[in-house]
Structure 1
């Protein structure tokens, strides 16, 4: 098996090795490793308390791990913040749970926040035009840019948060439970939008979710967090072939079968154009 960390960084925009996160004596991650392939949508699943959001926060530098190495777009993530780190942060966008919009700003002003931070030389008119374009790109009408978050439905707030995440034309997109709390129709529409944006903009997407439909509909691979580490990474058919009890319960348990029906069949879930890959993302023969 080839060591993905030794491959060109362009092939693996996110590399995590030996990560350890702890809050006091409570250890969240211990020797966690993960690689994300360029251009894929990687779904991240795990039980409550397994540290999915903590992992994402570690990757984007909001959580400082006790040990381990994180490399994003060829740059090491550490405790320091210099000009290179600031430039790096402009190359990713993040949709936090619930959207995390500033309630006292309009949607357009929310989208303008990262533009003001990274490109203060842009004129007010151009910044507003960019913000309105990103609002449309997220699937919302342009007039939503002039509304406040409190005037929006839950699904619209998610899309507004997505518009802000796309403000700087990022290479990486981090989505934390983007369909949580949405009705099935709105969730499916958000999934479709995510796939379209990934293909149109050439994004690499790190997607935390509990939504089985999302996993089947748009994720190229799925990473499973359990036992304080990533225990498996692969396509859904590959995961279904494993005998780990949590994986089997998650995908084949009563709620999984009720929600998915025939999609629980690994043959139905397989992507016909995708060769098998091992847990590190290497394609099989």
Structure 2
């Protein structure tokens, strides 16, 4: 099994054994793996420790049990290995911001969520620590023509807005135009949730509209990550991967307006494999990674 399949099967194993005692060693043994390697692999792939994940899934499972009138909160705490009702209630409040008694009384409604999807991406071992595979490289100076707009990540509709503007640009691109497309995110101001987005291609586009721009993206030293899927659906995974990369590789983010560059291999297929370029400072030690 590859590492993605191991974690996918581990998540199913955990879900099937939430009412049993689960430890790093017991889960690792189920897949004939070293508990130390499995712990590092799980943390790298899921962005949290195994114990944190198991706790969140037990609390998720409790949501269905709470709605069964035959189950008391004490029974649920015992069944899901919380030990006491008090410890169950404390953990529930930390995760959901309300008491389980509120859900049981019908005052608060919380829906269970399915087992999370494991994002398929390559990994890299650095001195025993596991991170998403990366390459330190230069993003070459590129002239990009496309549609520019702003989004606020604090608003729930930002994904819909990005997709709508992307479709607007693609509707203007001739089918004979092939090659990559770029999505460039830059922060409007420090510590803001508002971002400028440029969705474009390295070809000249002649469209007489106010929101179409041509921008020269400068050469930037970056860490390049490889993914497949939709960036908007794996944003949290990317943030976790990038934070882990910075910690383990001892790199630092670069002081630049550009936060992120997403490069799709095929302008006509936004579900194709793509690269993420994250600007970082160029350090003398980079050549040794």
Q: TM-score, normalised by structure 2?
A: 0.29
**Structure ranking higher in helix proportion:** 1
Q: TM-score, normalised by structure 1?
A: 0.30
Higher RCO structure, 1 or 2 (CA under 8 Å, sep 6+): 1
* Higher Cα Rg, which structure: 2
